[in-house]
Amino acid sequence: MTGPGDDDFFDNAPAKPMYGLTDDQSYYRYPPPPGVELPSGWRGWRRCTNLAGAFADQRALQIWLEWKAWMGLRVGDGILFDEWMARNVDTLSVAEQKALVTDFAERARAAAGGNTAARKGTARHDMLEGYLKTGNINGTRSMRVQMQSLLHALELHELDPLPGWSERRVWHPAAGGTMGTLDMAVSCRRTGQIGILDLKTAGRFFTFQEIAGQQYCYDSAPWVWSGLPDDTGCWMPNGAWNLNGVEGGEFAGRRVALLAHMPLDLSPVRIIEVPLDYGAEVLACAAENVRLRSIGKSVAPGRRVGAERPLKSGERLTSRTMAR
């Protein structure tokens, strides 16, 4: 039973943003930049991280995902396995079976801690965004220590955050249209040059290949979103970044993007340079891989890459012709 005015105690839930990532986090749904038409069959703009991932061999990652899923079935006295075995899958369509398997695999990986590092990384990105917008540092004691380590590293390298460049969406024409989110941009006090900086929380880097491609996508994107993720915002031409590798470094004189490596083990934050000329080649290769895979998956005549070899005109393949 409610009394008069009880509704005044509650605010309406905030509306879902008009633009943003799809529910499965696979695509960005934003309007096209000026002069760009939506591609046929458009589901959203491909994520830059996903596009760059098309460059590298994903076999090791797939093995890790499968291992985490199997381990997740053992968690909690195997309750998730019991739930899986109780489902009547025989009456489901192939599409429904695929959706069910995907759901259980994700739940199993989560139960085994397969997404813990990613969630911690997201929390640190949120902490950085809050600091850049408000100047306040929120988070646990260890998160605050890491933030102070990041600020110390920026000071040592004489890098100043550029106001207004926290979590900015950018659009690149690669692979029919790709979007990503800049963590921040910085200005170098030594040279006055400006460039992009991405926060990374991985324990260690196995390779910088995909990262270089991702950073080139951000750096060379011609459009950046200005304003809120709704019809009050719009695409604006992106500025020209010009940061070069520092003198005495491995990439001196070459255009670079920066990474702030903030590992979850609380090691001191390191500032890493990645060369953008190499990143351009990675992104181009990844986009070509996407194009070739699209053709390879097609079953349409004239587009597919495998079809039955025809017999002579008027002849059919029968048991008689096979016996010849």
pTM given for the model: 0.76
pLDDT band at 57 (very low <50, low <70, confident <90, very high): low
Asked if residue 75 has pLDDT above 90, the reply is no
pLDDT of 321 over the 70 cut: no
Q: Which of 144, 108, 105 lies closest to 128, judged by CA?
A: 144
What pLDDT is recorded for position 307? 86
DSSP 168-213: EEEEE-GGG-EEEEE-EEEEETTT--EEEEEEE--SS-S-SHHHHH
Which DSSP letter does residue 132 get? H
Per the listing, tokens 């105690």 go with 9
Amino acid at 106: E
Question: Which band of pLDDT confidence, cut at 50, 70 and 90, is reported for residue 133?
Answer: confident
Residue 7 has pLDDT above 70, yes or no: no
Q: How far apart are CA 29 and CA 19, in angstroms?
A: 6
Average pLDDT rounded to a whole number, residues 134-147 = 86
Please tell me the predicted confidence (pLDDT) of residue 205: 72
Angle between helices 276-297 and 209-220 (to 10 degrees): 100
Q: What is the pLDDT of residue 110?
A: 77
What domains can you pick out in the chain, each with its CATH number?
A: 56-114 (no CATH), 115-295 (3.90.320)
Looking at residue 225, what is its pLDDT? 97
How far, in Å, CA of 171 to CA of 144, rounded? 32
